[in-house]
Chain A
Amino acid sequence: MKKIIYLVLLLGFLSSTAQNKEVFFEKSYTQLNQMLEQPKDYSFKKAVFSVEDAYLDGNLDTVFINNQIKVLHNLSLSLIKERFLYYPEKDKETVNKWASVFEVMCDTIPMNLNNKNYDYIPFGYDFNDVFGHRQWSDMFVSKLLITRKGNCHSLPYLYKILSEELGVEANLALAPNHIYIKHKSQKDGWYNTELTSGIFPIDAWLMASGYVHIDAITNGVYMKALDNNESIALVLLDLAQAYQNKFAENDGTFILKCCEAAIKAYPNFANALILKAETRKTQIEKEKNTQLATLQLRELEKQYAHIHQIGYRNMPESMYLNWLLTLKTERNKYENKKLDTFNTR
């Protein structure tokens, strides 16, 4: 009897072709669209992990993930309860929650468990695979929770998830090849939280990469505090990229579908516009009817012109790390000195 079960399982495993694996992507796509249509269904945590689960063929260890998030959530709660935050304005409760998430992400916290002293070690930056070239799952929050090292994708995502667990918002914001956090408090107005280095930078730092055209800021391509729908647009693009990484030889249909949904939720989302254009380009290259291809190419040129016109400029990946490090090397120039509240170190 046992043998038969093994056999069935084995057959089942062998037959799980690409087609079956795509089901997880479709499932995630449906779920993300549902969140866009029904605000009550919105959950950034669920959105992010649906994409990671799809990439891992439905094998994401949700028990481990949920446990980890629960532990971090409890740690934030105890920080809020036990440590003192000097902040004089009415929105202290909210600011205190943000501060606790920041500490969980970036600070070493002394703890006492069963009369033994421990040091909680914060999350770190993983310099090995910044863009997920080695392995796409290096971008994942689940990878961050397992290895405790992440990048400008997984770190702000986890920050947002933990904030929402505490019932407060955290706005994601974009810069070239980069994601960071924006908050608005009564005391300091809008301010930035940079999780890759645990520093609060002023806007001048984000503008200093040399690849931020002012039109891109004016049009909300970069440095805009993204709302929930725009954040889901980011996740939709993650889904498209995960799909692209997994099924390199796909026909582009699924990717275009994701891009369209993302652009609908966030019209000036440069990365979605670019992936859409590039996917179209690949499709056009395969087009056998040359007359049709010429027409389509003309349409494509318009798309690229639009991307340029809203202010997007391509930042070479090699420039990214140089820029990221300027926040540490030129900390005095770029650190927000108004935020004495959290700069406890």
Chain B
Amino acid sequence: MGSMKVLVIIPVFNEEETLRGVILGIRVSLPDADILVVNDGSTDSTSNIARKEGVLVLEHPYNMGIGATMQTGFLYALRNGYDIAIQVDGDGQHYPDFLPSLIKPLLEGHCDLMIGSRYLSDGGFKSTLLRKLGIKFFSSLIWIFTGKRVTDPTSGFRAMDRKTLELFSVEYPPDYPEVEAIISAHKKGLHFQETPVAMRDRQGGASSIGFLSALYYMVKVTLSVSIGSFRRLK
């Protein structure tokens, strides 16, 4: 168990206000893990902050979206022999204190994909009403296509084992990947679970999702998942 190589991937796009705090928090709760910042074409000092902290840094030449950013991290994790990769957002929403409980079932081999759910815990920031509706919608969608209940399908606070990384490194949507990724993991026969985590409201920067893009998110995922059910996995 102690010999497992763990990589924490932080996808960042203009997170200069919060990134340092996130890195320091991860170092406290998972001192043995390596930290990889994947910079998705930030135009502020995000990249400098990451370098100053001495973490691993990969730079996209331009903005490619959260899905492509995570996938870059997955490829790095696979090629460098990591057993487990964790996604922690760079905006400070995810409390690093929950990292050990997020990866414990993976270290013990109980599941392949662990999703941190803010709806399984008391307290902490939940979400606005509109977002909650969106989340309900995605939960139902996942239930229809997998028969499983996921309380927080858009949560980006996740941990993956190598089997999941191998899937996600070839199959991961470039934009709004969270919901589709769960469904394709299920199709591949991977086991996913949720664990309670608390989240904060974002600490800085701007949310990546406005009203129109939320609508696009729902339409796109529904379309993609429906058509995807007629598609065989590679």
A and B bind? no
